[in-house]
Amino acid sequence: MKVEIDSAALADAVAWTTRVIDARPAQPILAGIRLEAADGALQLSAFNYEISARHHIEAGIDEPGGALVFGKLLADITKSLPAATTHLETTDTTMLITSGKSSFTLQLMPLSEYPDLPPIPTRLGQVDAPTFVQAVSQASVAVSREENRPVLTGIRIQFNGDAVVMTSTDRFRLSRTSFTWTPVDHDLAATTLVRGSLLRDMARSLDEHENVNINFDTENPTLLGFENAGRQSTSQLIDGEFPAIDRLFASTYPIEAVVNRQALIDAIKRVSLVAERNAPIRMECTAKELTLSAGSVDESQAKESLELDMDGDDITVAFNPAYLIEGLSAITEPFVRMKMTTAVKPVEFNGQQEADSDESMDYRYLLVPMRYNG
């Protein structure tokens, strides 16, 4: 293999591809990144049996061929190369990397021992990248960190025609976002469950100027694939049944209150400074005022009031402040509507553009209140 390539493009491609390589791979061979030069392009790929990454960039190919080298080392080298053209050349046992006056010699790994990457599934449809990135950010709010319950570490994605719904839950809260996209088949109906951390990582690396193609084989539902700006990823699906959570949303809410979202977040952060670890903050809602408080009589205390527009009876609810801030921060509108039934049943949070407008149902955050003294 003999290749001439732009240094910056190479560094970016290697960094993106090697992100799937584990710090401690299950097998030593999985520490490698595979390079294949042919037809005016350099193909890069990496795999860890759960996720795969493929990238291709334009290159001058003097001699086609393939090689396998340690991925993390190649990433460290390429990001430090001078801003010049990089040359890659392999022998039977080594790869020579030269750029300007810098040169590196890497030992090759046995290419024949590298596992075959899974095929990219059939394309389901596409969506613009900013919409997808926001949806993943919102849906992942309630992803659980409990590795002993894999289904709770995932985001369920439901495809129904031109509508996509993403949902996560950790049993204490529920985060759901929906958006429209362009499906290949408008009669599409499919459901997948993919690890939330992988989906977040993939979304962070998208080129937001390009659409995202989502791939899934409904006949062989084991992988979910993504394509964006020449980059392709696949993720193994989680095997398990997602909890039946639709019943948690109340059909009607007798108490509804609207408050400025950022003012509420700022107040929660201030009041929670005195709250002990895992202690709740209290929210006392009346017709015109929301009073936040934390602490107890024999400890530090804090209290703050905000303007509130509420319909329904007065109510006091208590929440984990971190969970409350995370859910409110995922709302993009300037106002938030809190919808309540009782002090112990889940509260739904929705964004809205104006203080007196209808709430948006594109993002729904459900949070279970905590018990509190007094």
- 353 CB contacts (<8 Å, ≥6 apart)? 333, 334, 335, 360
Residues 275, 227, single domain; the answer is no
The answer to whether residues 190 and 282 belong to one domain is no
**Secondary structure (3-state) at 97:** strand
Q: Are 253 and 363 found together in one domain?
A: yes
Beta strand residue intervals within 79-188, DSSP E: 85-90, 94-99, 102-107, 123-128, 154-160, 163-169, 173-180, 182-183
Whether residue 315 lies inside any domain: the answer is: yes
pLDDT value for 374 = 58
| 130 and 240 inside one domain | yes
Task: Verify that 237 and 299 share a domain, yes or no.
Answer: no
Residue 130 sits in the same domain as residue 96: no
Task: Please report whether residue 118 resides in a domain.
Answer: no
Residue 225 lies in a domain: yes
Q: Are residues 272 and 354 in the same domain?
A: yes
Say if pTM beats, i.e. exceeds, 0.85. yes
270 with 327, same domain: the answer is: yes
CA pair distance 350, 360, nearest whole angstrom: 6
- Written as six digits, the tokens of 268 are 């929660």
Q: Does residue 61 share a domain with residue 94?
A: yes
> Quick check: is 372 in a domain?
no
pLDDT at 218: 87
Q: Which of 79, 113, 147 is the last residue of a domain?
A: 113
Q: What pLDDT shows up at residue 297?
A: 76
Do residues 127 and 241 share a domain?
Answer: yes
Last residue of a domain, one of 245, 262, 289: 245
Domain holding 221: CATH number?
A: 3.10.150.10
- pLDDT digits 0-9 by tens, 130-146: 999 999 999 999 999 98
* Residues 8 and 104 grouped into a single domain: yes
Q: Let me know if residue 298 belongs to a domain.
A: yes
pLDDT the model gives residue 4: 97
| pLDDT of the residue at 29 | 97
The range of the structural domain enclosing residue 263 comes to 249-367
Return the pLDDT at 284. 97
Question: Torsions phi, psi of 311, nearest 5?
Answer: -115, 130
Residues 94 and 127 in one domain: no
Residue with tokens 């795999």: 47
Residue 12 lies in a domain: yes
Give how many domains the chain has, as a whole number.
Answer: 3
The last residue of one of the domains, among 69, 91, 113, is 113
pLDDT at 298: 79
Does residue 300 belong to any structural domain of this protein?
yes
Half-sphere exposure of 145 (CA within 13 A, CB side): 1
Average pLDDT along the chain, 374 residues, taken 10 residues at a time: 96 96 94 97 96 96 97 97 92 96 96 95 96 97 93 97 97 97 95 94 92 93 94 94 92 97 98 90 95 88 96 96 97 98 96 96 97 74
